[in-house]
Amino acid sequence: MSVKIRLSRIGAKKQPAYRVVVAEEHSKRDGRIVEKIGHYDPRTEPPTVVLNEERTKYWLSVGARPTDALGPILKRAGITDKYVKMHTARKSKAAKAEASAEKPAEKPAEALAAS
């Protein structure tokens, strides 16, 4: 069973609010969930994010992957970048380019230090 941490939409028409939930990868957007770990309201200024940090870190540690939409929300909420980078479901092209740019930049610095 593969699980994801994702947003489940609640709220009226044209007034979105979201629950942050842990759900099986193949379940529907608003379908069956494993656990509700918080909520997110993008309509407030600044957007409101309330997370059970302990449970979020637990789920990340056991292999749950946050969706692309949830990655920046977790960063804003103070969840470490380590978990977000390790467990993001998919990487954007910019993230892949950034990661590949970091690796070659480190190698010449090590070669200069060794000389």
| Res 61: pLDDT | 87
Mean pLDDT of 23-41: 88
List the domains of the chain with CATH numbers: 3-90 (3.30.1320.10)
- Coil, helix or strand at residue 114: helix
Task: Determine the distance from the C-alpha atom of residue 15 to the mean position of all C-alpha atoms in its chain, rounded to a whole number.
Answer: 23
| Res 113: pLDDT | 59
Confidence of residue 37 (pLDDT cuts 50, 70, 90): very high
Q: What span, in angstroms and rounded, lies between the C-alpha atoms of 90 and 13?
A: 29
- pLDDT beyond 90 at 44: yes
Q: What span, in angstroms and rounded, lies between the C-alpha atoms of 68 and 89?
A: 7
| Res 2: pLDDT | 85
> Which value, in Å, is the radius of gyration of the alpha carbons in the chain?
17
| Res 64: pLDDT | 87
Summarize pLDDT for 49-105 with one digit per residue, the tens. Answer: 999 988 998 998 888 888 888 888 888 888 866 665 655 545 556 666 666 666 655
